[in-house]
Amino acid sequence: MKADGELDRFQRWLQSRLADAEKIESDDERIRTSNQIQNAIQECINYKQAVNVHQSVANPFVMRDQPVRPVNESEVKPVSSVTGMCTNCEADLTEDLEFCPLCGEFQ
């Protein structure tokens, strides 16, 4: 995998930066920079491990040539019957809802 080689190259670059950070004269700056680089190296290692785990897991989705169950549009019909008007906004109410679909007022 091409990205794996790039990650290795990036990790080696970070390790060379870590060696360069040891030359910083200020103790606080050297420790801060060293910690940042070590954290970046650890995240690089964690990412490579996650990629390896992801590649080892099989795809759980199955692609089929034809649908498992054909959809018949004539079988599906919307069921909504108007049962009245909303007392708040005068919108049409349906029997399957206990509230107005427009304003949310409970009836």
Q: Which amino acid does the sequence have at 67?
A: P
| pTM greater than the 0.75 cutoff | no
Distance of CA 8 to the CA centre of its chain: 26
pLDDT at residue 2 greater than cutoff 60: no
94: β partners: 82
Residues 77, 87 contacting (CB under 8 angstroms): no
For the chain, the C-alpha Rg in angstroms (whole number) is 31
The CA distance from 23 to 13, in Å, is 16
CB 35 within 8 A of CB 22: no
Tokens 């290692």 — which residue? 45
pLDDT of residue 75: 67
Domain ranges for the chain, please list them: 2-56
Quick one: average pLDDT of 20-40?
94
Is residue 104 within 8 A of residue 89, CB to CB? The reply is no
Does position 22 have pLDDT exceeding 80, yes or no? yes
